Amino acid sequence: MTTYRVEEVADGFYILRVNDRYTRFFEALWEIPEGITYNAYLLQTPEGDVLFDGWKKPFAALLVDALEQVTSPDRLRYIVVNHMEPDHSGSLEEVARWAPEARVLGHPLAGKMMAAYPRARGRFRPVRDGEVLEIGGERIRFIHTPWLHWPETMMSWLESRRVLVTCDAFGGYGIFEGIYDDECTRWDDAVRAMKKYVVTVIGHYRDWITRNLGKLSKLGVEPRLIAPAHGLVWRRDPKKVMEIYESLARAEPVKGKVLVLYASMYGTVEMIVRRIACSLSRAGLKPVVYGFTDSTRPLVSEILTDAIDSEAIVIAAPTYEAEAFPLIRFAAEEICWKASDGKRVVIVSSYGWGSVAAKRLKEVLEGCKYGVIDVIEYNAIGPAAIEPSEAERIAGEVARAIAGGAGG
């Protein structure tokens, strides 16, 4: 059964959160066994109420239900669309039907994207970057924040309350027991949930995070509360959250962290990689190991989450039908697309009769500016293809490349 929550997070400002336990692959791509929430927010004022964002379409009727607890059709004056992706806008038509007088506000591009919601579109009014809506003693400034996550994305800044409604930005996966980052949740878990969302969803546009955060800072936006459209509300230390977000955008590495990613059908690559990982640990580094095997299938969403802040990557694949093993190819391409930032890479591969995997992976990773430190190929069918001394040598190479700074 779907559950939702309506809670006052500040005087007259409510979160309306639905817990989506059905979506297992967000955007039909990212594995999220932990589920996801969609957070809409409602601001009550003496001159009528304002709704920020909404829920995914299957939950539209439930959102109307939730709205009935905190407002009424004649009180709802504005529906603010911070972002048109259907995980937030899917309920737009139902809410517009329920509140026939409500105006719909959004970035000018949002209006152009509203064909699926004719009722809402008919009442759409674009807002300029920096425009302020004054209502019932509140000042709501709309700040265009392009590419966080789409070109039409914006944030709503409740000036006097210092509450920033950020939509996808600062959002995280997971259905947490609490509403806030400091409630029934470990800080590290809250940050990991945000990191996974930002890498998988906004990773490709990371430069825009830096630009938009710079813009917020120039505007003097220093929130007391960050209210994103997924996951937890940040109240413990919003400034720190913004710093973490910025560091994720820059793919700032965790010292010594090495992502070790491999696939192995019959244990050849696995044996090689295990020895390398062990040698990496001995060299004082921190390998984080993911392997696709006949008994394990790691989540690409988690691999990306660990790729973004690794100092180096060891990627290993057997040759498969004159190509690199397909799951590693996919993971490597996604790492390039979402998390690449000139890191150092060691490529390991094996083959039975004609080496291809190493060459292909090199093409992919160099194509997205990774610095390939070494490419090692083993002609082997079955385990035991690497001497411990060879593993030590590779680990030493990774350690030296990391110590040597950027460029490898």
- Summarize as ranges the residues that interact with Fe ion (CB under 5 A): 85, 87, 149, 168
Contact 144, 157 (CB under 8 A): no
Contacts of 353 (CB under 8 A, 6+ apart): none
Per CB under 6 A, the segment of 187-195, 219-227, 313-321, 368-376 that binds ligand FMN is 313-321
- E strands of 321-370, at which residues? 323-324, 344-351
Rule CB under 6 A: say whether 381 interacts with ligand FMN.
Answer: yes
- E strands of 3-147, at which residues? 3-10, 13-20, 25-26, 30-31, 36-43, 49-52, 76-81, 103-106, 124-126, 132-135, 138-144
Rule CB under 6 A: say whether 220 interacts with ligand FMN.
Answer: no
Rule CB under 6 A: say whether 359 interacts with ligand FMN.
Answer: no
Rule CB under 6 A: say whether 267 interacts with ligand FMN.
Answer: yes
Enclosing H/E stretch for 221? none
Query: Measured from the CB atom, is 281 or 293 closer to ligand FMN?
Result: 293
Enclosing H/E stretch for 122? helix 118-122
CA gap 89, 74 in Å, rounded:
21
CA gap 195, 387 in Å, rounded:
37
Per CB under 6 A, the segment of 78-86, 129-137, 229-237, 312-320 that binds ligand FMN is 312-320
Rule CB under 6 A: say whether 347 interacts with ligand FMN.
Answer: no
Show contacts with ligand FMN in window 15-44 (CB under 6 A). none
Residue 181 interacts, among ligand FMN, Fe ion, none and using kind-specific CB cut-offs from 5 to 8 Å, with none
Q: What angle do CA 44, 150, 181 make, to 5 degrees?
A: 50
Rule CB under 6 A: say whether 384 interacts with ligand FMN.
Answer: no
Query: Measured from the CB atom, is 106 or 291 closer to ligand FMN?
Result: 291
Rule CB under 6 A: say whether 380 interacts with ligand FMN.
Answer: yes
203 to 90, 121, 250: CA distances (angstroms): 23, 30, 10
Rule CB under 6 A: say whether 327 interacts with ligand FMN.
Answer: no
Residue 266 interacts, among ligand FMN, Fe ion, none and using kind-specific CB cut-offs from 5 to 8 Å, with ligand FMN
Query: Measured from the CB atom, is 205 or 262 closer to ligand FMN?
Result: 262
CB 201 → Fe ion: shortest distance, Å? 6
CA 41 to chain centre: 21
Residues lying near ligand FMN in the complex (CB under 6 A) are found at 264-270, 318-322, 350-354, 380-381
